[in-house]
Structure 1
């Protein structure tokens, strides 16, 4: 996809993911530092401390995975990056861009009653989600009227 004209990412989910990742790193590093001085009779070594800090980093990376979703849209179509993959959909393949009542995120409606969730546009983001939906619908409208 060349020269994206609109890009959206979730806002509140990213803030929470970064905060949780920071808590994991700080908590596990603190535990790793304090682990050596245990008075329980169990002996902890440097390798145990490094492993604890490493577990904190792995947990932080897992938390940051929730900040990954993104959507890029231009006149050619939409590129949706969700948790596990990135896919491109041409506007001709998309029947509509919708945000069903009660749904936590938007979706692309495809032929045959199929849909693709857009995790980058989340209801919790309020006005940001409204702006994203307006932009996606505008781009779809422009692309489909140009192709007629």
Structure 2
């Protein structure tokens, strides 16, 4: 789903701490697999590694890093048109008439947008380990919900 350039979002939040860790882990994976790939043919282990094995080792590290970097993707955008939630691979625009609130279930790692009929959409962009940032994002969401949900 692509958004129109004219849309204005009053809240845009994304995970902070987990995104930093994900970038670090992704960099470490690439470094380790590249190093192993380079060193694969230097010693005599009884197994004959070819150049393609070296490239495969590096490619595996890059693929794993790309998977870890998916953790930097979550976003939530809130505005007059509704709530746009992007998690690891999905993006969903929720109109205000369907929003029933934002909550943190006990022990959960991230928030969720409550929908009718006991349904919900997880919001990986607002994570409990971000502490004050998460509290600020949740409070801002709730104030915008009062502003827009009452109008719809």
Runs ≥4 residues deviating over 3 A: none
Equivalent residue for 1:92?
Answer: 97
Instruction: Give the drift of 1:44.
Output: 1.3
Equivalent residue for 1:70?
Answer: 75
Structure 2 residue 81 is the aligned partner of structure 1 residue 54: no
Unaligned runs of 5+ in 1: none
Conserved 8 A contact 1:75-1:140: no
Equivalent residues in 2 for 1:1-148, closer than 5 Å: 1=3, 2-147=7-152
Give per-residue Cα distances to partners, 1:65-103, cap 9 Å, x unaligned: 111111111122100001220000011111111122322
Q: Matched residue pairs, number?
A: 147
Conserved 8 A contact 1:7-1:72: yes
Instruction: Give the drift of 1:144.
Output: 2.4
Unaligned runs of 5+ in 2: none
Q: Secondary structure at the match of 2:89?
A: coil
CA distance in 2, matches of 1:49, 1:144: 56
The TM-score normalised by the length of structure 1 is 0.94
Give per-residue Cα distances to partners, 1:79-131, cap 9 Å, x unaligned: 00012200000111111111223221111110001111101100010001001
The TM-score normalised by the length of structure 2 is 0.92
